[in-house]
């Protein structure tokens, strides 16, 4: 069976990463900042090794709930309630797909 769990976790960029200090827009709050942190999105629906990073400002990097903000933004579901921070379980995924069917304009 296809894995549909999506995980988000926050990480600090390694000082040697070439984009550290570059101007970025925070994925969570849209703030312009110098790149220092990122959220890693592991989307099991794309494939087993499909993880990618989105820029996160220093302020958001300190807030645990940022993982959920990223998850909601990524899914385009601002109202989604997430039990475990940064984890979209199979059950939540099913619920999201269900509500998607009904909310399309
Ligand atoms: Zn931010």
> Cβ distance 71 to 88 under 8 Å?
yes
Six-digit token pair at 28?
């969570």
Is residue 38 within 8 A of residue 55, CB to CB? The reply is yes
Mean pLDDT of the chain: 88
Q: CB-hemisphere CA count at 13 Å for 77?
A: 18
Separation of 59 CA from ligand 1 center, angstroms?
6
Residue 104's pLDDT is 52
Ligand 1 center–CA 57 separation, angstroms: 4
Distance from CA of residue 74 to its chain's centroid?
A: 6
- Divide the 105 residues of the chain into consecutive groups of 10 and give the mean pLDDT of each group: 81 91 96 96 84 95 95 92 88 82 59
Contact 29, 60 (CB under 8 A): yes
- pLDDT at position 1, please? 52
Cα 26 to ligand 1 centroid, rounded to whole Å: 5
Question: Ligand 1 centre and the CA of 2: distance in Å?
Answer: 32
Q: What is the pLDDT of residues 62-91, one digit of tens each?
A: 998 999 999 999 999 998 888 888 999 888
CA 54 to centroid of ligand 1, rounded, Å: 11
Alpha carbon distance 3, 52 (integer Å): 17
pLDDT at 65 (0 to 100): 92
Q: What is the pLDDT at residue 2?
A: 59
What integer pLDDT is reported at residue 95 of this predicted model? 84
How many A from CA of 49 to the centre of ligand 1?
26
Other C-beta atoms lying within 10 Å of the C-beta of residue 51: 15
Identify the pLDDT of residue 47. Answer: 77
List the one residue out of 77, 66, 68 whose CA is nearest residue 104. Answer: 77
């Amino acid at each position: 069976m296809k894995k549909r769990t999506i995980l988000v976790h926050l990480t600090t960029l390694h000082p040697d990463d070439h984009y550290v200090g570059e101007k970025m827009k925070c994925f969570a709050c849209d703030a312009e900042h110098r790149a220092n942190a990122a959220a890693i999105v592991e989307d099991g629906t794309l494939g087993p090794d499909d993880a990618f990073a989105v820029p996160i400002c220093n302020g958001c990097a300190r807030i645990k709930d940022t993982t959920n903000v990223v998850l909601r933004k990524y899914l385009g579901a601002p109202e989604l309630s997430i039990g475990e921070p940064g984890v979209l379980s199979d059950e939540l995924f099913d619920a999201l797909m269900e509500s998607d069917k009904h909310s399309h304009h």
